[in-house]
Chain A
């Protein structure tokens, strides 16, 4: 895949934009998070979306725990651009070989696993869901088990960063029949 560029709106005044992002990120003290829409320029997103749609998914099924499609991807250009953008703001560096593509369609989900060992750090997610219906579920949900919950519905070309604390758990809300043949696709890596 040729170069992947961040939307210039995010890179024009890096110090100012970085400060705004960091401030918004910590608005939610329990589960710090931010969603940045239109993160890639249009042609870069189109290339990434095509790469994702051509990827062969492996079924990841254990009915008590999860049911969705999964693939591992190496994305050096995306990794390079996002790392350059994120390192000054959050001090995080992505690994090109660590991208996991998760894809949900009708009847797919993942539950909170009792045995799951918390991995403190950051989840970096690039949402590559195109035309996924608003009422079809498949939200990424983070919760601390109490009142605090962050719900992330499908949104194409969006970068999502979530800080994972020792009490943070996540699940993928069941994708209902309104999904039809559409897919909620996202790339994720845990730092």
Chain B
């Protein structure tokens, strides 16, 4: 198992140079065959897409979506097998404790390369743009993560540079009793005095309570809008045998 080879290292992510198409995808005939090479056909039907768009738009506590069996099952099984051969590096700070792959674009695995190439292909970016009504730049970050017993990622908002959508493709199923859920927080506006300068007071959004938990399941795609209220955490994995594996990253806003 990869966790036996854990070493300390810094985060390393993939940056693509694909140019997304900004054409609307309102009809199934508009979909490129490239999408059906990876996505479950039911998620390419206009009715399903309309439902997904609505679900994302009306998500609470903020715009998010989870779609089970999103990719073609047999292809994702191959990706999982390859991911378990990848080397994961242990990372720890006050905010997190988990394991992460190095830059996935440098993987030796043909199937992982193929999968991440698809995730930042112009066809998939266009599909995501259609679901979210956002416009993305050509930059996409992608890395693999492994959470084991006692691993966690505490509450934060993901805001950095122009991140617009955070996404995760889960490669393992974790029971509710194992921990490891993605917890989305409610937020409220609070007047905050900064400790460094207590004369200044500013209104800012702060997380309050957990509003929604997304439980990892093999072949579930989850994503949410990154904003000033996108507070979330990965809850601690609390069983020794659990391996929570995922591939995830961000799409960036186009200006």
A residues touching B (Cβ–Cβ < 8 Å)?
62-64, 107, 109-113, 115-117, 135, 137, 141, 171, 173-174, 176-178
B196 touches A117 (CB 8 A): yes
Considering only CB atoms, which chain A residue lies closest to B207 in the complex?
A63
A109 touches B150 (CB 8 A): no
Considering only CB atoms, which chain A residue lies closest to B238 in the complex?
A177
Considering only CB atoms, which chain A residue lies closest to B194 in the complex?
A115
Given contacts A63-B185, A116-B195, contact A177 B150 (CB under 8 A): yes
Would you call B231 an interface residue if the criterion is a C-beta within 8 Å of the partner chain's C-beta atoms? Answer: yes
Given contacts A113-B195, A115-B196, A116-B195, contact A64 B94 (CB under 8 A): no
B residues touching A (Cβ–Cβ < 8 Å)?
94-95, 97, 150, 152, 154-156, 179, 185, 194-196, 206-208, 231, 233, 236, 238
C-alpha spacing A113/B236, complex, angstroms? 22
A111 touches B94 (CB 8 A): yes
| B155, B179, B194, B238: the one within 8 Å of A64 (CB) | B155
Considering only CB atoms, which chain B residue lies closest to A143 in the complex?
B94
State the main secondary structure of chain B at its contact with A: strand
Which chain B positions have C-beta within 8 A of A110? 94
A64 touches B150 (CB 8 A): no
Least CB distance, B236 to chain A, in whole angstroms: 6
C-alpha spacing A58/B171, complex, angstroms? 40
Count A-B pairs with CB separation below 8 Å: 48
| A109, A113, A177: the one within 8 Å of B154 (CB) | A109
Given contacts A64-B206, A64-B231, contact A171 B150 (CB under 8 A): no
| B94, B156, B179, B196: the one within 8 Å of A109 (CB) | B94
Least CB distance, A109 to chain B, in whole angstroms: 6
B154 touches A174 (CB 8 A): yes
A107 touches B236 (CB 8 A): yes
A116 touches B196 (CB 8 A): yes
Give the top 7 A-B pairs by smallest Cβ distance, nearest first.
A171-B94, A63-B155, A176-B150, A177-B238, A111-B94, A63-B207, A115-B196
B94 touches A141 (CB 8 A): yes
C-alpha spacing A166/B208, complex, angstroms? 32
| A62, A115, A137, A141: the one within 8 Å of B206 (CB) | A62
Which chain A positions have C-beta within 8 A of B236? 107, 174, 176-177
Least CB distance, B180 to chain A, in whole angstroms: 12
Considering only CB atoms, which chain B residue lies closest to A107 in the complex?
B236
Least CB distance, A1 to chain B, in whole angstroms: 33
Which chain B positions have C-beta within 8 A of A63? 154-155, 185, 206-208, 231, 233
Least CB distance, B212 to chain A, in whole angstroms: 15
C-alpha spacing A63/B155, complex, angstroms? 6
C-alpha spacing A30/B208, complex, angstroms? 37
